[in-house]
Amino acid sequence: MTAPKQIKLTLIRSLAKRLPKHQACVRGLGLSRMHQSRIVAATPENMGMVNKVSYMLRIEEVA
């Protein structure tokens, strides 16, 4: 069994004045502050949250 791909997410826009569901997605991905980065598995659940708030994130694949 292969491990899921990893992606690095960086919050590049503020959570202030965003929809509550978008704020919840960002927090669910483990991000809480501007310019904070987190490496997460590219599971369907995480990718759904990433797609919803992609305008606030910088997304990079981790080798």
Question: What does the pLDDT look like over 29-58, one tens digit per residue?
Answer: 999 999 999 999 999 999 999 999 999 999
User: Are the CB atoms for 49 and 29 separated by under 8 Å?
Assistant: yes
Break the chain into its structural domains and give their ranges: 6-62
pLDDT band at 62 (very low <50, low <70, confident <90, very high): very high
Residue 37: what pLDDT?
Answer: 98
On average, the pLDDT of the chain sits at 96
Instruction: Give, rounded to a whole angstrom, the gap between the first and last alpha carbons of the chain.
Output: 18
Per-residue pLDDT, 63: 77
Q: Which CATH class is domain 6-62?
A: alpha beta
pTM of the model: 0.91
Task: Name the DSSP letter for residue 31.
Answer: -
